[in-house]
Structure 1
Amino acid sequence: MIVRNMGLQKTKQLAFGDVYGAVMLPKEVQLHKAQNLDLKFQIPDVGKAFQGFIRTREVGEFLSGALAGAMAKAVLAPLETIRTRMVVGVGSRNIAGSFIQVIEQQGWQGLWAGNTINMLRIIPTQAIELGTFEWVKRAMTSAQEKWNQDGEPEVQIGEITLNIPLSWLSPVAVAGAAAGVAGTLAGHPLEVVKDRLTVRPEDYPNITVALSKIYKDGGIRGLYSGIAPTLIGMLPYSTCYYFMYDSLKRSYCGAKKKKTLNRAEMLLIGAFSGLTASTISFPLEVARKRLMVGALRGKCPPNMAAALAEVIREEGIGGLYRGWGASCLKVMPNSGITWMFYEAWKDILLIERRHL
């Protein structure tokens, strides 16, 4: 509707209202028609997002570690049972005698005593440990490359600037230590339960009873009993273990001019890495086991130093390596099989991103 003003001949436009209450605006201030609003909401494709997530390198490494740990423990559970009994001084002092004793007292199933809790423990623990190792190694390698380009980190204290020389650190050694700490913190409560089921099955017949008794006696601290010596013992073992495997793998591939190892080579190098690391840290393992199950025997050393002194006093220096043979029989195949399965699962889950 166009209305012409008297004398001014100025055009105005009816903006809104009815014939009785129209508001007249100058043509220069016209109201434009608003654009239609798009109110459509797109539902996220959860399935696609999940597929993208599980295909990431980190998830593949975690899954590979979990599967490798589960397979290795299922095969080697009897050796784990014998090793634990010998380390804490329960039953026979030799491997064959301990096998016979367990079978006579508990039957064949006794060799898998505590294996259920061991499987529940090893799956998340191995996933966290191997996943942490790979992630920290990559992060440390990237950080060192940046330090080489931009200079090492500096700390400013007043007017004094201190350079922190971190380029000498081995990414593999740092990653190995981090993996050991992360895996230990995640799996220690179930490790305590497993040892109780293995050493005193008559008092701890199943997981539920064991958890209930341990929590009733010591609360959360009871589930983490012996965590300090465990971490102390784990650091040299884990650092050496991962450093040995990675170094041997790279050296061997370099010498043979190969890009990767075959399964038999992974098995052997993994086994040798486990043997070396176990031999170096075994006295700390003995002290750790003494602290973890000491309460069951009516005497518990107050700390790791006291546990080591007690072993030496009662059994001499040789006591620090009591059960070492059984430990090697368990550690060597466990390390070899774990690495073999881990690398195999990585080849399957990360085939497009596989590298040495």
Structure 2
Amino acid sequence: MAFLLSQSQKNNHNYAHGVFGDLDIQHHLHSRFQEFLGSREVGEFMSGALAGAMTKAILAPLETIRTRMVVGVGSKNIAGSFIQVIEQQGWQGLWAGNMINMLRIIPTQAVELGTFECVKRSMTSLQHSSKHNQCPKLLIGSINFNLSFSWISPVAVAGAAAGIASTLVCHPLEVLKDRLTVSPEAYPNLGIAIRNIYKDGGIGAFYAGISPTLVGMLPYSTCYYFMYDTMKKSYCENRNKKSLSRPEMLLIGALAGFTASTISFPLEVARKRLMVGALQGKCPPNMAAALSEVIREEGLKGLYRGWGASCLKVMPSSGITWMFYEAWKDILLVQKANSL
């Protein structure tokens, strides 16, 4: 009898220990998950996603016109493109491909802005630590190199990393968006677009134009973030301010987008040619061939065909994105930190 009682008590103890142990594990995991959701990195990724979604919802018609003009579809001027789209497809035609555009921009902006912030902090921290520690040295023959990071711009490196990361993750969505925008007859919805693109070229077809995209993204993204950060700091120093107002963010973001777009626009033309070339029955084999084709057919000015429409889209998009991004960061990060 005593044996049975002791055995029963032991089983009850093990059961209680197992139950409460599982509860402790669940509570620990829940706490860690809440801590992860409240981290700075998640807040920055969320801010980027929300800013991108709100911006694209507002500026979808300009994106449609810009894409049509860059790839040479329809009218050669902005007003004519608007009228042509409305006559052919109605007002809803200005939002052609907007569903995939929204699905594209949310992860794109989340990855891009989140990566930018993380890499910028890491590079700044690396530079700061290298100032207080002896730099590593590289000896090649009789030449001694100091491997210092002081000459590297954290903002430029972060901008390049942000562009590359977002492009690698989200390029297939960009291809789908362009196909839906340029040829809604052949690709009436997302499901058919995915099936037809895969049927025509397999997985590789979703990465059509990835090389010129990466090459074009590097100067654009690097210049874009560098210009925004530089203009923001200079403006605040000249005005003796700690931060920008919302209208100032809108203006500086628009100027940064204008500068970066102007510098890298010929590569954007080549990228679009490669991505949608199959629709016209001719696809240049590489970026150099696409640039040569444009110059041969339209001269040097062809490299900037659609530049006005691009600026009309890029400038407000860039400004609005930064304005929304900084606003969401204030909500998700600054106010949360102040409440702790």
Same fold (TM over 0.5): yes
Counterpart of 2:4 in structure 1 is none
For structure 2, which runs of at least 5 residues remain unmatched after alignment? Answer: 1-12
- Residue deviations 1:7-48, cap 9 Å, x none? xxxxxxxxxxxxxxxxxxxxxxxxxxxxx9994512432443
Residue of structure 2 aligned with 1:44, choices 26, 32, 37: 26
For structure 1, which runs of at least 5 residues remain unmatched after alignment? Answer: 1-35
- Residue deviations 1:148-202, cap 9 Å, x none? 1213333467997643343201000000000000011111000000110011110
- Residue deviations 1:308-356, cap 9 Å, x none? 11111110111000000000000000000000000000000011559xx
The whole-number CA distance in structure 2 between the counterparts of 1:136 and 1:104 is 46
Counterpart of 2:272 in structure 1 is 289
Larger helix proportion of the pair? 2
Counterpart of 1:127 in structure 2 is 110
Q: Is 1:313 aligned with 2:306?
A: no
The whole-number CA distance in structure 2 between the counterparts of 1:176 and 1:153 is 26
3-state SS of 2:26 partner: coil
Does structure 2 conserve the Cα–Cα contact (< 8 Å) formed by 1:152 and 1:167?
Answer: no
The whole-number CA distance in structure 2 between the counterparts of 1:60 and 1:190 is 24
Counterpart of 2:172 in structure 1 is 189
| Residue 54 (structure 1) shift | 1.2
Counterpart of 2:38 in structure 1 is 55
TM-score, with length taken from structure 2: 0.90
The whole-number CA distance in structure 2 between the counterparts of 1:159 and 1:52 is 52
The whole-number CA distance in structure 1 between the counterparts of 2:309 and 2:47 is 27
Does structure 1 conserve the Cα–Cα contact (< 8 Å) formed by 2:160 and 2:222?
Answer: yes
Counterpart of 1:22 in structure 2 is none
Does structure 2 conserve the Cα–Cα contact (< 8 Å) formed by 1:133 and 1:178?
Answer: yes
Q: Would you say how many aligned residue pairs link Structure 1 and Structure 2?
A: 319
1:230-245 to 2 correspondence within 5 Å?
230-245=213-228
Counterpart of 1:166 in structure 2 is 149
Counterpart of 1:33 in structure 2 is none
Counterpart of 1:340 in structure 2 is 323
Residue of structure 1 aligned with 2:60, choices 77, 80, 83: 77
Counterpart of 2:123 in structure 1 is 140
Structure with higher Rg: it is: 1
The whole-number CA distance in structure 1 between the counterparts of 2:51 and 2:193 is 27
RMSD over aligned CA atoms reads 1.8
Does structure 1 conserve the Cα–Cα contact (< 8 Å) formed by 2:112 and 2:163?
Answer: yes
3-state SS of 2:118 partner: helix
The whole-number CA distance in structure 1 between the counterparts of 2:114 and 2:43 is 9
TM-score, with length taken from structure 1: 0.86
